């Protein structure tokens, strides 16, 4: 089973540091999303990259809809990787939905992690009477109708909005290419898991210190959501980045690297 996780999730380990840092990609991406910042960590850390089952160069034959139609399926991927590598006290860096995947994994097995770093986290994307997640039900229904009818068109339209930084179209192109390389059916499943999960009650159960890196002008995870995570998660620190959009590790890797390293100095 352990070797299976290494192959299934296309695990790559490199670097020469005594500490381990695990980077987990968000929806529609794969481990290539971290290419702009990982070189800054290989001196001090052993870097672990992986693809969730169904993403990137993972073994797509092991994707089972009944397993991955809930966020817990992705949590099990992360825990399998940690177990396969024998990790203890690793630093976890998760982007977007991976923030909550990491939180849930650490709630189950806190011994695997020493620090959790959330980039653009959201415990719930849907608005409620007493909570602003950023999306109304009708917004998400329209999003999924668009995905179902024209996935490539959806990718081309959504990637620039998610990335922001419209004056740098090459960034949106990078994200569009990532979306377009993902199997459309798996992408739709992962999107539903992402946008319809509600992990607000899990925040208070965290026993591992964490950092919320909040982007500016983020249409996916607005500032109010980042502040909610900070307020409801024990031991969480909040840093507001100047970076705009939802993917600062792609658009502003140097600022993201500085924020992560400053936190890990403590």
Classified as helix, coil or strand, 145 is helix
pLDDT given for residue 154 in this prediction: 80
Which position among 58, 96, 122, 197 bears the catalytic label? Answer: 96
User: Is residue 149 annotated as a catalytic residue, yes or no?
Assistant: no
User: Is residue 155 annotated as a catalytic residue, yes or no?
Assistant: no
Residues of the chain with pLDDT under 50: 1
Can you tell me the distance from the alpha carbon of 191 to that of 139, in angstroms, rounded to the nearest whole number? 13
Give me the residue spans of the domains in the chain.
2-265
pLDDT given for residue 140 in this prediction: 87
Backbone angles phi, psi at 114, to 5 degrees: -105, -30
Contacts of 88 (CB under 8 A, 6+ apart): 111, 112
Which position among 25, 95, 246, 249 bears the catalytic label? Answer: 246
Which position among 30, 122, 218, 251 bears the catalytic label? Answer: 218
Can you tell me the distance from the alpha carbon of 22 to that of 13, in angstroms, rounded to the nearest whole number? 9
Classified as helix, coil or strand, 96 is coil
pLDDT given for residue 3 in this prediction: 65
Q: State pLDDT tens for residues 24-68.
A: 999 888 999 999 999 999 999 999 999 999 999 999 999 999 999
pLDDT given for residue 2 in this prediction: 54
Tell me which CATH code domain 2-265 carries. 3.40.50.1820
pTM: 0.94
Side by side, the strands of the sheet bearing 12-15 are 12-15, 45-49, 19-24, 90-95, 113-119, 210-216, 236-244
Query: 211, 185 in Cβ contact below 8 A?
Result: no
pLDDT given for residue 149 in this prediction: 85
User: Is residue 96 annotated as a catalytic residue, yes or no?
Assistant: yes
């Amino acid at each position: 089973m352990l070797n299976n996780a290494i192959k299934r999730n296309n695990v790559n380990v490199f670097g020469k540091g005594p500490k381990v840092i695990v980077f987990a990609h968000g929806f529609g991406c794969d481990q290539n999303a971290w290419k702009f910042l990982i070189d800054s960590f290989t001196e001090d850390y052993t870097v672990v990259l992986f693809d969730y089952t169904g993403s990137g160069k993972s073994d797509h034959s092991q994707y089972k809809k009944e397993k991955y139609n809930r966020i817990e399926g992705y949590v099990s991927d992360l825990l399998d990787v940690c177990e396969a590598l024998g990790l203890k006290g690793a630093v976890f860096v998760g982007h977007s939905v991976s923030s909550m995947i990491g939180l849930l994994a650490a709630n189950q097995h806190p011994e695997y992690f020493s620090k959790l770093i959330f980039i653009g986290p959201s415990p719930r994307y849907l608005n409620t009477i007493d909570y602003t997640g950023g999306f109304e039900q009708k917004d998400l229904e329209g999003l999924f109708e668009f995905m179902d009818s024209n996935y490539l068109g959806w990718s081309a339209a959504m990637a620039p909005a998610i990335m922001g930084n419209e004056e740098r179209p090459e960034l949106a192109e990078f994200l569009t290419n990532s979306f377009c390389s993902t199997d459309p059916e798996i992408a739709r499943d992962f999107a539903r898991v992402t946008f319809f999960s509600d992990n607000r009650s899990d925040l208070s159960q965290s026993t591992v210190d964490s950092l919320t890196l909040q982007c500016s002008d983020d249409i996916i995870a607005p500032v109010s959501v980042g502040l909610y995570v900070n307020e409801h998660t024990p031991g969480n620190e909040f840093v507001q980045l100047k970076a705009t959009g939802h993917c600062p590790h792609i658009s502003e890797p140097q600022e993201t690297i500085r924020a992560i390293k400053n936190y890990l100095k403590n």
